[in-house]
């Protein structure tokens, strides 16, 4: 009787749930199994059934469960046209869902976060209450753009440092003051990143920031920081990327797509960018070439904003959403066209760390200068 009591809620839950595509209505309803109907009644459960019926009850339940399983599997293949996609993870996910339903434990679901997770066409027979666990890999040939979260109407503000780097290498001996200012040596960069790690900073992406501002999700770490690199220099791949990866940090790299297309010396190639993207780095738009965007007409701006975005999408498989204005120059026309073309935010060279929904196309950064000591770096971060 004890074993039966443990088994029953599960069986009842499965039979009650009614989520198995209607097949069980023909093969396994409560009325087909009078024993179950009786046991469904609490008072009946207290009574001791006749010895003969009790003997057959457990095998009968097992048979019913097996029939349901067969119906589910048959239903999946009956309703799903043949495809090359491996269905096993989806079937496993559906069983996981069915189990959660039968125990009446609500499974918290969150919209998959903007990680370019491949998504599948909505399946009309899939229970939608809990969805498919996001950790289940579902191969799919189609790419679904990351949706901009619908703002929930709440005003939020964050003070998060967005660090700005350019070169991560030792400048040549004849470098001018600008090149020296834009260059952080690999040694100093490694020390800065290690200091961040040792002091509890966790890197987030610009996507995280936009989601947090709009819907307050995902929850940000206690000490969030965003690390960005402008211009797409090859030393970013050679020196910065390995250091970031070793510390489990992520970075955002703003590249010049026409420069990348012609494999210009000194700049990262598409192969490098693909590798970095696959490793969790964000590759976003700086422009086609390193020319100023302010004072341009709409056609020019569309060509120089949409063009790089489409090139990155074609090469890396996702639509970039952020532009770092070249030389920090922009005007209202740049903001308007960028917004129209699907960008979520524009990143400036203005000094600051205060971010709200009102200044998404004028995000502030902290320029890390080439002559900074580690003490200076620490002081700037702590006081930001």
Q: Which residues bind Zn ion (CB under 5 A)?
A: 230-231
CB closer to Zn ion out of 231 and 235? 231
CB 190 within 8 A of CB 377: no
Bridge partner list, 158: 355
**Rounded to whole angstroms, how far apart are CA atoms 237 and 244?**
10
CA atoms within 13 A on the CB side of 141: 3
Give whichever of 114 and 232 is closer to Zn ion, judged by the CB atom: 232
For Zn ion, the closer of residues 208 and 231 by Cβ is 231
Which residues are CB-neighbours of 68 under 8 A, at least 6 positions away? 14, 15, 20, 24, 28
Complex with Zn ion: residue 231 or 284, whichever CB lies closer: 231
- Shortest Å distance, C-beta 344 to Zn ion: 20
Number of H helices, E strands in the chain: 16, 10
Q: Where in the chain does DSSP place strands (E)?
A: 157-159, 162-165, 202-203, 224-230, 252-256, 282-287, 322-324, 345-351, 354-356, 363-367
**Residue 297 Cβ vs Zn ion, minimum distance, rounded to whole Å:** 22
Gap between the Cα atoms of 149 and 151, Å rounded: 6
Nearest to 178 by CA among 350, 370, 373: 370
Across 88-223, the runs of DSSP E, i.e. the strands, are: 157-159, 162-165, 202-203
Closest separation in Å from C-beta 290 to Zn ion: 6
The distance of closest approach from Cβ of residue 361 to Zn ion in the complex, given in angstroms and rounded to an integer, is 17
| Nearest-approach distance from CB 291 to Zn ion, in angstroms | 10
Nearer to Zn ion, 23 or 367 (CB): 367
Q: How far is the CB of 166 from Zn ion (least distance, A)?
A: 7
Choose between 29 and 349: whose C-beta lies nearer to Zn ion: 349
CB of residue 213 to Zn ion, shortest distance in Å: 25
- Number of residue whose CB is nearest Zn ion: 230
Using DSSP bridges, classify how beta strands 354-356 and 157-159 pair: parallel, antiparallel or unpaired: antiparallel
Residue 254 or 270 with smaller CB distance to Zn ion: 254
Which three-class secondary structure state does DSSP give residue 215?
Answer: helix
Q: How far is the CB of 326 from Zn ion (least distance, A)?
A: 5
In whole angstroms, how close is the CB of 226 to Zn ion at the nearest point?
17
Instruction: At 27, give phi and psi (nearest 5°).
Output: -115, -20
Cβ contact 79:90 at 8 Å: no
Mention every residue, 6+ apart, whose C-beta is less than 8 A from residue 105.
none
With b for 16 or more beta-carbon neighbours within 10 A and e for fewer, the 347-361 pattern comes to bbeeebbebeeebbb
Residue number with CB closer to Zn ion (24 or 230): 230
- Between 93 and 312, CB nearer to Zn ion: 312
Query: Minimum distance from CB of 227 to Zn ion (Å)?
Result: 16
Closer CB to Zn ion, residue 329 or residue 339? 329
> Distance between CA 305 and CA 54 in Å, rounded?
73
d(CA 368, CA 380): 9
């Amino acid at each position: 009787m004890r074993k039966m009591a443990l088994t029953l809620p599960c069986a009842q839950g499965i039979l009650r749930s009614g989520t198995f595509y209607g097949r069980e209505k023909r093969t396994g309803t409560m009325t087909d199994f009078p024993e179950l109907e009786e046991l469904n009644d609490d008072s009946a459960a207290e009574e001791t059934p006749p010895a003969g019926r009790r003997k057959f009850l457990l095998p009968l339940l097992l048979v019913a469960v097996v029939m349901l399983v067969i119906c589910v599997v048959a239903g999946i293949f009956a309703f799903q046209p043949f495809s090359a996609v491996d269905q096993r993870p989806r079937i496993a996910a559906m069983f996981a869902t069915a189990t959660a339903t039968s125990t009446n434990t609500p499974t918290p679901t969150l919209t998959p976060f903007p990680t370019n997770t491949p998504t599948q066409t909505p399946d009309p027979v899939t229970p939608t209450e809990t969805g498919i666990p996001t950790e289940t890999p579902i191969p799919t040939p189609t790419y679904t753009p990351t949706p901009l979260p619908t703002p929930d109407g709440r005003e939020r503000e964050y003070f998060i440092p967005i660090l700005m780097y350019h070169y991560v290498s030792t400048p040549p001996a004849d470098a001018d003051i600008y090149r020296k200012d834009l260059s952080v040596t690999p040694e100093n960069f490694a020390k800065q990143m290690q200091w961040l790690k040792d002091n509890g900073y966790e890197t987030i992406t610009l996507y995280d920031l936009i989601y947090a501002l709009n819907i307050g999700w995902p929850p940000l770490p206690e000490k969030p920081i965003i690390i960005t690199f402008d211009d797409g220099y090859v030393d970013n791949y050679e020196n910065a990327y390995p250091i970031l990866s070793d510390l489990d940090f992520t970075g955002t790299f703003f590249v010049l797509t026409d420069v990348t297309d012609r494999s210009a010396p000194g700049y990262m190639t598409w192969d490098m960018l693909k590798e970095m993207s696959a490793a969790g780095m964000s590759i976003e738009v700086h422009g086609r070439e390193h020319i100023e965007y302010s004072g341009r007409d709409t056609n020019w701006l569309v060509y120089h904003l949409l063009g790089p975005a489409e090139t990155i999408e074609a090469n890396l498989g996702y639509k970039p959403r952020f532009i770092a204005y070249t030389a920090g120059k922009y005007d209202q026309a740049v903001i308007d066209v960028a917004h129209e073309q699907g960008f979520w935010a524009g990143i400036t060279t203005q000094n600051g760390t205060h971010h709200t929904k009102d200044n998404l196309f004028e995000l502030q950064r902290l320029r890390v200068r080439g002559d900074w000591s580690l003490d200076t770096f620490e002081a700037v971060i702590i006081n930001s």
